[in-house]
Structure formats: structure tokens, C-alpha cells
Amino acid sequence: MTATATKPAVHTSSQESGNRGSRVPAVLVVAFIAALWTVPSLGLLINSFRAPTDIRGSGWWTVFGDLFNSAAWTLENYTTVLEEGFANAFANTVAVTIPAVAIPVTVAAFAAYAFAWMEFPGRNLIFVSIVGLMVVPLQMALIPILRVYTGLDLNGTYPAVWLAHAGFGLPLAVYLLRNYMGSLPSSLIESARIDGASHFTTFTRLIIPLSTPVIASLAIFQFLWVWNDFLVALVFLGFDPTNRVLTVELSDLAGRGEGALNLLPAAAFVTMILPLVVFFALQRFFVRGLTAGGVKG
């Protein structure tokens, strides 16, 4: 699971670095920050299992005074949430998310390779423009694109959402991938060329395997972004209730104001399940790295 398993050349933990005395403060600081970061989510988790009036009536931390009082706990919030059409929304979200991750990551990988290792006029200028596009606020893009979609009768279709997510996610993806691929040693690419490999072959056989960690990391970030996106899905999938994704359902609950305060924590956790599973499943790739350095050694 750690770098030791995949790449013994780099250090992993303090056992090798000795200096045991420095561990205690490190452990304390890490534990403190981790606890601080977890408290808000913990509050949400606890509240998701409390009765509606309790959520409103007292702070979530008060449960610690009476932890084993079974009357204080309820699954009611979850059952209500699951009855609210979340199964359909789940399927929709999966159908939206997987291609909306695969398309931009693939397109960006090809482009990043071209920007890093191919010669063509205007290469740097185009690349810098792409990085600059990261700041174009996507809210500005919705209406002009919607107009074109309306003309093409694309509104409310999955491809409309995939391509929109692909477009909006590309600048960051190209930026990060180009940054990583550009840092690979040129000797590697040159030797492949000498062996007679085409660019396509070099890319698929050499660059992609070497970039697996960064691609996986990027895929996770794009996944989280698309999964948690509300605006793009709402605008391009449109009104049809059968098309709704999880965030739209969640926002529907939130729109009921304080009245849905009891459902929101549970609903928020339902929408978080898959992102967490994906994160833990692919976590090991993060250890290898998203940016330059790993191969260069």
C-alpha cells in the first residue's frame, strides 16, 4: 500500500531516518490537525443519526454525555432520504461521472504529451493560453453553451454534460499532466524513438504507464469535481426529474431551508459514499505522486 511496495528507492518512514526523538511532537501535531479537520464532519455524521428535534434542540456534542441511550439514535433520516428518489439519482450520477472523467483525462493526456514532447508552431503560446483558461469562471460559459445546445437539440442528454465537464476540466488536467510528463527524462523518450516507436506507441506504451500515478490522481480529482458538481448537471440535464443527479436531489432538500436540517446530514453522507470508496481504493496512487520528481531520481 505504500511507496515501499512499489518503489523501494525512495524513503518512506522514520524507521530508516532514525531520530526517534522527533516522532513524538510530530505525532502530536499530526493528531491535532487531523482531529481539527475531522470535527466538522464528525458533527455532521452524529447529527445524521439523531432525531429531527434533537438536531435543532441541542448541539451534536451533547450525545457524548449519553452515548448509549438508544432512544437518542435513529435511522429515520436515512430511510427518508433513500425514499426520495436517490436510487435513480445515483444511477444518473454514475452515468454522468464516469465518461465525464474518462473523456477529459484522455484528451488531456494526449494534449499534454503533444505540449511536452512534440514540436509545432505556437506550442508554448497555446499551452499558456490553456493554463490561463483555468480562471474563466464556468458560470459565464453556461448561457452561450446552452444556446448552442438548444440549437443542436442536445439539452438533457448525457453527452451534453460529459462534453461540458470535459471542457471545464481540461485546463487543470492539461496543466498538471504537462507538468508531469515534461519532467520525465528526455533520454527515455529519445531511446524509444531510436527503437523506431511512433509517437502514438511511445505515448501508449511508455508515457501512460509512467504517468499512471498522476493520471489516477487527476482522475480522482476530476471524479470528485464531477460527482459534487451541481450547476453543470442542473443546467444541461435540465428539468426532467428522471435526469436528476445526487447533488440536485441534495440541493432540493437544502432548498427546504431549516425544515430539512434533519435530512441534510444523512443525505450528504449518502452522496459521499462513492467518492470515499474511490478515494480509498485509489489512494495508493497518491503515494507515488501527482507531480514531477518520482522518475527523475
Partner 1 sequence: MDRFSKWLVLLAVLALAIAACGGGGASDGTGTTADPGGTGTTTDGGTGGSVEFDLFGGPTGAEGDAIDGFLAAYNGATGSNITYTGVSEFEQQLRIQVDGGDPPAVAFTPQPASICSFADEGALVSLEEMGFDIAAMEENHSAYWMNLGLCDDGNHYGIPWFPNYKSIVFYHMPTFEANGYEIPETYEDLVALSSQMVADGQTPWCFGFESGDATGWPGTDWIEDILLRQQGADVYAQWYNHEIPFDDPAVTQAFDTFGEIFFGEGFVLGGAENVAGINFEDSPGPLFEDPAGCAMLKQGSFISNFFEQSPGYEAGEESELGVFNFPTIDGNPGAMGGGDTLIVFDNSTGAAQAIMDWITPEWQCTLASATGGGIAPNGGHGVEGVERLPGHKDVDLGCYDTETSRTFAEAVTQALAANTFAFDGSDLMPPEVGQETFWTGMIDWSQGTPSADVASAIEASWPS
Partner 2 sequence: MTTPPVLVETPSEIRRPLSEPGAQSNSLQVWLLRLASALIIPAVLAVFFVTFEFLQREDTNKILQVIVALIVGVGGVWALFWAMDRAITAMPDRLGTAVRPFAFAGPAMVLLGFYLVYPAVRTFILSFQNASGTEFVGLSNFVTIFTDSVYLISMRNSVIWVLVVPLLAVGIGLGFATLADKLGSKSESAAKSLIFLPMAISFVGASVVWRFIYNFRPEGFGEQIGLLNAVWTAFGGSPVNWLQVPLWNNLFLMVILVWLQTGFAMVILSSAIKAVPDDMLEAARLDGANEWEVFRRIVIPTIASTLVVVWTTVIITTWKVFDIVFVMTGGGFDTSVVAERMVTEFFTFGNDGIGAALAVVLFLAVIPILVINIKRFKEQEATR
Residue of 167, 238, 275, 289 that binds partner 1 (CB under 8 A): 238
User: What's the min distance (Å) between Cβ of 167 and partner 1?
Assistant: 16
Picking from 271, 177, 282, the residue whose alpha carbon sits closest to that of residue 233 is: 271
- Taking phi over 0 as left and psi of -120 to 50 as alpha, with beta for the rest, 19 belongs to left
Q: Is 23 or 147 the residue whose CB approaches partner 1 more closely?
A: 147
Contact flags string 245-264 toward partner 1, x per CB under 8 A? ---x--xxxxxxxxxxx---
In degrees rounded to 5, what are phi and psi of residue 73? -110, 145
Q: Is 259 or 293 the residue whose CB approaches partner 1 more closely?
A: 259
| 198, 145 Cβ separation under 8 angstroms | no
Partner touching 163 among partner 1, partner 2, none, CB below 5 to 8 Å by kind:
partner 2
Please enumerate in sequence order all residues whose Cβ is within 8 A of that of 203, keeping only pairs 6 or more positions apart, or say none. 109, 110, 113
Partner touching 297 among partner 1, partner 2, none, CB below 5 to 8 Å by kind:
partner 2
Picking from 218, 220, 207, the residue whose alpha carbon sits closest to that of residue 114 is: 207
Write 235-242 long-range contacts (CB < 8 A, 24+).
235/142, 235/146, 236/145, 236/146, 236/149, 236/155, 236/156, 236/160, 236/161, 236/164, 237/92, 237/96, 237/156, 237/160, 237/161, 238/155, 238/156, 240/156, 241/85, 242/88, 242/92
Write down the residue that cell numbers 510530530 correspond to. Answer: 26
Residue of 155, 179, 183, 228 that binds partner 1 (CB under 8 A): 155
| Number of residues located near partner 1, criterion CB under 8 A | 33
Q: Is 75 or 134 the residue whose CB approaches partner 2 more closely?
A: 134
Residue of 59, 159, 241, 293 that binds partner 1 (CB under 8 A): 241
User: What's the min distance (Å) between Cβ of 150 and partner 1?
Assistant: 4
- Among the listed ranges 68-76, 161-169, 210-218, 240-248, the one in contact with partner 1 (CB under 8 A) is 240-248
Euclidean distance between CA atoms 286 and 217, whole angstroms: 6
Residue of 1, 18, 40, 53 that binds partner 1 (CB under 8 A): 53
User: What's the min distance (Å) between Cβ of 66 and partner 1?
Assistant: 17
Give first-to-last CA distance, the chain, whole Å.
Answer: 21
Residue of 14, 150, 212, 283 that binds partner 1 (CB under 8 A): 150
Per CB under 8 A, does 293 bind partner 1? no
Residues at the site binding partner 1, with contacts judged by CB under 8 A: 52-53, 56-58, 142-143, 146-147, 149-151, 155, 204-205, 234-235, 238-241, 248, 251-261
